[in-house]
Amino acid sequence: MAQGVMSGRPPEVMQQILESQMNRCREELKKADHFGKLGDIEAARRRFDRVRATVKDTRLPADYLNELKESIRQIEITGLKKLTDQLLERANDCARVDDIAGRAAACKEAREHVARIAALGAGPDFREVTERKIEIAMMTSSAQAAAAPKSIASAPRAAFSTPDKAAVKREQRRFKRFTNPPLVVDVDGKRFKTLNWSIGGMALVGWPPEWDSKTRIDITFGAEGDDARFSEPGQFLRVFGEGRNASLQFESVHSQALKLVQRLAGLGRAPQE
């Protein structure tokens, strides 16, 4: 009301002006949200600037200004998360063709965005997941993985029941395979040693013929000579070789094997291919 008197305009006119400005802000935020969901954070921020310019010299209600601030915060978090995921996809693409510089640049930018997301008040889960994805990207390599699907989840589930499917074979070769140190692995009360292993799965020696019908299994494992043990659900894929070696795949791309790799590196026993 006071604003209407001070401006010399009738309160009704002032109310119409305020509603028009509020609607304009909402439209800009709607567009910002669209760009945020695409990961185009710069385009979203340009819309934020337009909103700020609109309200700069306007006496909008305090609760509405708070609503705008919260919307901007949430949209920026959404946009940065999407952009971070896109950068990690780029890092994996670079890793698959051994573009080390490209992978490092994408991971560095992703970490910068994660720091901003944390500063905006997002929970710690996204940081933890992102760090694991970065670790996976740093361990993914070689031209033979260039044709692999971008995520384990993208492989057809039917491939798990058909051991000779090429899609499964490509997934198994997506990560570096380690032979040293070998792992000691427990499955359903029976102990095995590994032929090789990676953060995506492992090959066990001496799979029992009566277990060929198994599908989902629980795997407990640790490095030979180390007391630390890790557990992870997985899939039995197939048997190969004269020693009845079994190919197993972890259900999650963020497997506990990644923690094992980090532990071994800290102990000066970095896994070797």
Q: pLDDT tens digits for 178-204?
A: 889 999 999 999 999 999 998 888 999
Q: Is the pLDDT of residue 164 over 50?
A: no
Residue 183: CB atoms within 10 Å: 23
CA distance readout (Å), 61 to 3, 8, 67, 225: 12, 20, 10, 67
Q: Are 139 and 176 in contact (CB under 8 A)?
A: yes
**β-pairing verdict for 216-223 and 183-187:** antiparallel
Report helix angle 125-139 to 62-96, nearest 10: 20
Can you give the residue ranges of every domain in the chain? 1-142, 152-266
Q: DSSP class of residue 9?
A: S
Q: Where are the alpha helices (DSSP H) in 97-154?
A: 100-119, 125-139
Distances (CA, A) of 43 to 5, 29, 80, 122: 38, 11, 12, 21
Give the per-residue pLDDT at 9: 62
The pLDDT of residue 157 is above 60: no
Residues 6+ apart with CB under 8 A from 47: 28, 29, 31, 32, 35
CA distances from 51 to 27, 54, 62 (A): 9, 5, 15
Tokens at 85, concatenated: 């995921």
pLDDT value at position 253?
59
Determine the CATH number of domain 152-266. Answer: 2.40.10.220
Q: Work out the mean pLDDT of the chain and round it to a whole number.
A: 80
Cα–Cα distances (Å) from 29 to 12, 51, 76, in that order, read: 26, 8, 11
Backbone angles phi, psi at 161, to 5 degrees: -95, 0
Tokens of 59: 């006496």
Q: For residue 198, which amino acid is it?
A: S
Cα gap 192→212, rounded to integer Å: 15
Residues 6 or more apart in contact with residue 56 via CB below 8 angstroms: none
For residues 250 and 234, what is the distance between their CA atoms, to the nearest angstrom? 4
When pLDDT is averaged across residues 19-23 and rounded to a whole number, the result is: 86
Q: What percent of the chain has pLDDT over 70?
A: 82
CA distance 84 to 7: 47
pLDDT confidence of residue 204: 93
**Element of type H or E holding 44:** helix 41-56
- Mean of the pLDDT values across residues 112-126? 85
Question: What pTM value is reported for the model?
Answer: 0.52
- With cut-offs at 50, 70 and 90, classify the pLDDT of residue 71: very high
